[in-house]
Amino acid sequence: MLPDWPRAQGAPLVSGLLKAQPEDFVVEEVFDLEFSDDGEFDWLWIEKRGDNTEYVAKQLARMAGVQPRAVTYSGQKDRHAVTRQWFCVHLPGKHKPEWSVPENETWQILRQGRHRQKLRLGSHRYNRFILRLSDLDGDLTDLDARLQVISEGFPNYFGEQRFGHGGGNIDACRQWFTGQLTPGRFDRGMYLSAARSLIFNTVLAERIKAGNWNTGLNGDMFSLRDSGSVFLADIDAEISTRLASGDIHPSGPLYGKAGKLEVSADVAQLEDKVYAEFSDLCAGLMKNNLTMERRALRVIPKDLQWQQLDDRSLSLAFSLPRGCFATALVRELINY
């Protein structure tokens, strides 16, 4: 089981349902794209319901008669949702196929075009979300106050979907690291991501408990808003002003071999304690040659809007940088 990591505003006063049906969770990639009308790559704008991204990629490979590795996408999307995202199929020396999706499938091609460039992982900048929270029960007056605070930033936790059902990806990762499991390439990547995410979430939880997750701590590396670039700086008046304005955020570790991205002082002491708690996962990550990266501890939603639909449901619309989880926002608002 996964820990119930602390919320920035404390436990929500309202409970409800998220994803009562796929249409309650709509996510769409925000992508700047111009087709070249030639090239070796077919780009397909696909809407899916109830399917994961990897499943659709495999179906496209089968339809095009290519190996699965010839199909790429920018990011994994939720299965229990309505999602719209780009897929790319490498077709060197081949005519553009007649893409015909079987009627019994729960995904469809909305748009397509030819391009000279391959779609690479992490190419899109944002995801746009439209959510419906239903069966709300509790002090609904608390929602507006929480959303006002959330609009200025919320903890950038990895969502529970990163860890598999009941944290199963962490269990499988430990079995792999101890030689009890031999996963394939896709599963290996999933388990490594889950291990790094668990360590990051634990560091963020400790920072929330200490009250410095969004204000900085001695030895912090700071992340530029929405860019991923990080830098080391002492906390002075300028840094404090930039933190308060949301221009920069404190960062946490995506564990791996140390390089240029090294924290110091109080931050290093806190993170070292977490590494000791998960020494088995850290050793396995090192063995797999991952390099240390940093991730912002805070994320500020873009264009956050909300509307009370009736006395038991609420709609939310917002955009988040790629890699950030809508469920991390929702858990600050309600218990679901």
Give catalytic residue positions.
Answer: 78
CA distances from 75 to 6, 54, 115, 323 (A): 27, 10, 19, 8
What does the chain come to in residues? Answer: 336
Pairing, β 25-30 against β 82-90: parallel
Tell me the backbone φ, ψ of residue 244, rounded to 5 degrees: -65, -35
CB 120 within 8 A of CB 72: yes
Tokens representing residue 234 in the block = 């002492």
Pairing, β 82-90 against β 71-73: antiparallel
Q: Of 190, 148, 186, 140, nearest to 170 (Cα)?
A: 190
Distance CA 320, CA 299 (A): 8
CB 287 within 8 A of CB 233: no
Which helix (H) or strand (E) segment is 329 a member of? helix 326-333
Q: Which residues of 276-310 are buried (b: 16+ CB within 10 A; e: fewer)?
A: eebeebbebbeebebebbbbbbbbbbeebebeeee
